[in-house]
Amino acid sequence: MRTSVGFFTACVFASISSSAFAQFTDDKVKIGVLTESSGVYADLAGTGSIIAAQMAVEDFGGKLNGKPIEVISGNHQNKPDIAANIAKQWFDIEGVDVVVDLPQSGVALAVSEVSRARKKPALIVNPGSSDLTSAKCSPYSVHWTYDTWALAHGTAEAVVREGGDSWFFITADYAFGQSMERDAGAVVIANGGEVLGSVRHPLDTPDMSSFLLQAQNSGAKIIGLANAGADLVTTVKQAGEFQIGQGKQRLAGLLVFLSDVHSLGLEAAQGIQLTTAFYWDRDEETRAWTRRCAARNGGKYPNMTHAGIYSAVTHYLKAVVAAGTDDGTAVMAKMKAMPTDDPLFKKGYIRQDGRKIHPMYLYEVKKPSESKGPYDYYKLIDTIPADKAFRPIAEGKCPYVN
């Protein structure tokens, strides 16, 4: 990996040295990682997100044409109003050129409006709502890693094909959960199944028992979990306590992160099918990057959003080089014009609606007896090619797409 990273960095430096820069705001490029580091999404975002952005900057050389690249961070506490105010402060006063991460779809939607008004890029890596590239799309936002349409067409479609044709949803009651239930329900119905009902819970709910009992009483073959992070972990653990999902009914996690499986343990998580954009053990480049990242994060392995932040920041910096400026409009144009290519997400591109296009992967969580060591959790079931992984652009009806 040292050789490939060295080659990657050398290519970047060659590109920088051959570019003439027009201007840099405040004589630097400033990246704001707006994350969630103290609540329900701390494990899948938080410190790992900040480290991933720092690694991208370091691998890029740390400077552009001799000018520094600075990374700052903030905690939005899963509150859209706080997130919007931080973004305004960063853009208007602190000279931030781009904001990245934004776990929680309500947060992403709020910050996307701020970035659009100020013509500054928002690299939306962690949220899932597919509305971010449809009715709520913005010419200054890129939805990087995954979305609810991709997750539904990966996981829900596979489960229905295997006979799981009746569903009941346990849904987080905010933008992501609602989009996830909608998109997964549409896939179930399109493939000949039926949705028997749903129940919604507030974000960061410690007791899921009443929701699980409603799902159990529905008689559905599949209990679809349209929640994430600590909420998903709590749901799966408490389902085990009630012996739900161990008989005729099965649990389907529609957004499952590596950190969730690690928290649950293989005994509880085995057999769960999940769709993801990244898994650390895919090839030598992903393994080598993961070792570097984990060494800086207390041994915790990165998930797909941490990899997505590295990928997004890398492409952003390449676009700044190509544009010769950190002006948001010029950089966004270059980001969409240039193909994406990095060691973790490999080759792809950004559509005009802001959807980052790349393959997605369907995995199944291993049995404890199949795992060979720490974080050896997944086995590959299917690769979903880039042209099939995300919603066709015409179906999204983004108002900014001609």
Q: Of 32, 4, 36, give the one whose Cα is nearest residue 98.
A: 32
DSSP string, 93-152: TS---EEEE--SHHHHHHHHHHHHHHT--EEE-S---GGGGTTT--TTEEE-S--HHHHI
Token pair 């690690």 is at which residue?
262
Residue 392 lies in a domain: no
Alpha helices in 193-340 (DSSP H): 209-218, 230-241, 258-264, 266-269, 284-296, 304-323, 328-337
Instruction: Look at residue 394 and tell me if it is in a domain.
Output: no
Total structural domains within the chain: 2
The separation between the first and the last C-alpha atoms of the chain, rounded to the nearest angstrom, is: 42
Q: Look at residue 399 and tell me if it is in a domain.
A: no
Could you report the per-residue pLDDT of 206-260, keeping only the tens digit for each?
A: 999 999 999 999 999 999 999 999 999 999 999 999 888 777 899 999 999 999 9
Residue 339, pLDDT score: 98
Of 357, 373, 393, the residue at which a domain comes to its end is 357
Whether residues 37 and 132 fall in one domain: yes
User: What pTM, to 2 d.p., does this model score?
Assistant: 0.91
User: In terms of domains, do 119 and 200 share one?
Assistant: no
Partnered with residue 252 across adjacent β-strands are: 224
Write the CB contacts of 295 (distance below 8 Å, at least 6 apart in sequence).
none
Q: Do 240 and 195 touch, CB atoms closer than 8 A? A: no
Round to whole Å and give the CA distance between 161 and 31.
43
Q: Is the dihedral of CA 289, 295, 298, 300 positive or negative?
A: positive
The per-type count for the chain, helices as H runs and strands as E runs, is 16, 16
Q: Is position 402 within any domain?
A: no
Q: Which residues contact 395 (CB under 8 A, 6 or more apart)?
A: none
pLDDT of 7: 39
| Whole-number pLDDT of residue 246 | 76
Q: Distance (Å, rounded) from C-alpha 400 to C-alpha 388?
A: 22
Q: Which helix (H) or strand (E) element contains residue 13? A: helix 2-17
Question: Is residue 251 situated within a structural domain?
Answer: yes
Residues 6+ apart with CB under 8 A from 199: 168, 169, 170, 171, 211, 214, 215
Residues 68 and 50 in one domain: yes
Record the tokens describing residue 114, joined without a space: 């701020």
Residues 370 and 238 in one domain: yes
Q: Is residue 34 located within the same domain as residue 54?
A: yes
Same domain, 44 and 140: yes
Q: Which two tokens stand for residue 299?
A: 């041994």
Q: What is 59-85 written as a DSSP string? A: HTTSEETTEEEEEEEEE-TT-HHHHHH
Sheet containing 273-276, strands listed edge to edge, beginning at the edge strand earlier in sequence: 273-276, 360-365, 378-384
Tens digit of pLDDT for each residue in 285-331? 999 999 999 999 999 999 999 999 999 999 999 999 999 999 999 99
pLDDT of residue 12: 44
List the CATH number of the domain containing 228: 3.40.50.2300
Q: Does any domain span residue 388?
A: no
Residues 378 and 233 in one domain: yes
- Would you write out the chain's pLDDT as a tens digit for each of its 402 residues? 333 444 344 444 444 443 444 578 888 999 999 999 887 888 888 999 999 999 999 999 999 888 899 999 999 998 999 999 999 999 999 999 999 999 989 999 999 999 999 999 999 999 999 999 999 999 999 999 999 999 999 999 999 999 999 999 999 999 899 999 999 999 999 999 999 999 999 999 999 999 999 999 999 999 999 999 999 999 999 999 988 877 789 999 999 999 999 999 999 999 999 999 999 999 999 999 999 999 999 999 999 999 999 999 999 999 999 999 999 999 999 999 999 999 999 999 999 999 999 999 999 999 999 999 999 999 999 999 999 999 999 999 999 997
Question: What pLDDT is stored for residue 17 in this prediction?
Answer: 40
54 with 110, same domain? yes
Instruction: Give the pLDDT of residue 201.
Output: 97
* 92 shares a domain with 60: yes
Q: 286 in a domain, yes or no?
A: yes
What residues make up the domain containing 140? 2-146+281-357
Q: Are residues 39 and 122 in the same domain?
A: yes
CB 369 within 8 A of CB 284: no
Whether 389 maps to a domain, the answer reads no
Q: Are residues 176 and 233 in the same domain?
A: yes
Co-location of 353 and 370 in the same domain: no
In this prediction, residue 39 carries a pLDDT of 79
